[in-house]
Amino acid sequence: MLLSIVAGLNESKSNKEGIIKKFSSLCQLLAPLQYDGVELSLLEPEKIDVDKIVEIAESYELKISALGTGSTYIRYGYSFGDTEKSNREKAIERIEKYINFARETRSKVIIGLIRGRFKHNSNPNKERLNIISSLKECCKLAEDNNVMLVFEPINRFEIDSYNTISQSLKLIEEIGSEYLKLLVDSFHTHLEEDPIYVWENLKEVARHVGHVHLADTTRRAPGSGHFDFKTFLSIFKNAGYSEFVSIETIMKPSFEEVAKSSLQYLRSIL
């Protein structure tokens, strides 16, 4: 398995030189710690000089593991399930920007919060159909650009649809695209999955997984709570999973401290 950590580049508020400087500093921190890559949480990937990002990453022998897209919903309010067709179209247009960036960086694109929350006065079934329709369009874009999408089950306190692994896997099977896989997040797994059956269930779905997020029950660095990372990661290891596991946590007390402590803890259990 390969290890990465989530970071942002503040590209919506910085000029291109500032973005590149921040990415260079990020690589300077992670490379000596022997990380394999970085997962970028972006809002406007089209504002970034992607060729320069690739050049810098390669110089440090780092990969871009995946692109987070949740800011599109958080900042713009665009989502796959929206009752307004124009907002759904804008969400898809934004995903196309991520796909274009991912094509050049050979990374995956995460489908998580961008599917949106249900409106209080709408029909949830209709919004689910909108999500499916929007996702199908994004899969076509992914197929055309040879980019993998990874769909993330997110807990019920943050989103209203596809909260569990089984619900998400059923959706992936319904879409039927070779360019759509599952993302499993330890934090959401802890909140949503049956603790009695979760390990056996993970063994069954491991072959469908294209990306993994790591956060403890505290939503902080692995080792800060009581999630059984040793069992969790051994399931993927035994299944032959060789893709990225990516630390996605609250970055406190600091990004640097989380990067160091997470690495130290994971090395101790693997």
Task: Write the DSSP assignment of 89-135 as a string of letters.
Answer: HHHHHHHHHHHHHHHHHT-EEEESGGG----TTS-HHHHHHHHHHHH
User: Is the pLDDT score of 250 beyond 80?
Assistant: yes
Q: Is 71 exposed, middle or buried (0-12, 13-18, 19+ CB in 10 A)?
A: middle
What's the rounded Cα separation, in Å, for the pair 165 and 185?
A: 10
Tell me the pLDDT tens digit for each residue of 12-43: 888 989 999 999 999 999 999 999 999 999 99
Q: Is 237 exposed, middle or buried (0-12, 13-18, 19+ CB in 10 A)?
A: middle
Question: Which two structure tokens, joined as six digits, stand for 103?
Answer: 């094509």
**Residue of 104, 114, 168, 157 lying closest to 137 (CA atoms):** 114
Query: What domains can you pick out in the chain, each with its CATH number?
Result: 2-269 (3.20.20.150)
What's the rounded Cα separation, in Å, for the pair 114 and 97?
A: 14
Tell me the pLDDT tens digit for each residue of 58-109: 999 999 999 999 999 999 999 999 999 999 999 999 999 999 999 999 999 9
What's the rounded Cα separation, in Å, for the pair 127 and 230?
A: 38
Question: Which two structure tokens, joined as six digits, stand for 70?
Answer: 């949740």
Per-chain mean pLDDT for the chain:
96
Residue 190 Cα distances to 4, 187, 214, angstroms: 21, 5, 11
How does residue 270 score in pLDDT terms, banded at 50, 70 and 90? confident
User: Is the pLDDT score of 122 beyond 90?
Assistant: no
What's the rounded Cα separation, in Å, for the pair 233 and 202?
A: 10
**Residue of 106, 238, 243, 125 lying closest to 181 (CA atoms):** 243
Report the Cα 74 to chain-centroid distance in Å. Answer: 15
Residue 129 Cα distances to 123, 160, 170, angstroms: 10, 13, 14
What's the rounded Cα separation, in Å, for the pair 92 and 98?
A: 10
74 backbone φψ class: left, alpha, beta (φ>0; ψ -120 to 50): alpha
pLDDT of residue 254: 97
Helix-strand-coil split of the chain, %, nearest 5: 50, 15, 35
Q: Is 253 exposed, middle or buried (0-12, 13-18, 19+ CB in 10 A)?
A: exposed
Angle between helices 85-105 and 124-145 (to 10 degrees): 30
Q: DSSP assignment, residue 185? A: E
Tell me the pLDDT tens digit for each residue of 217-228: 999 999 999 999
pLDDT of residue 135: 98
pLDDT of residue 121: 77
What's the rounded Cα separation, in Å, for the pair 198 and 100?
A: 35
**Residue of 102, 104, 200, 193 lying closest to 142 (CA atoms):** 102
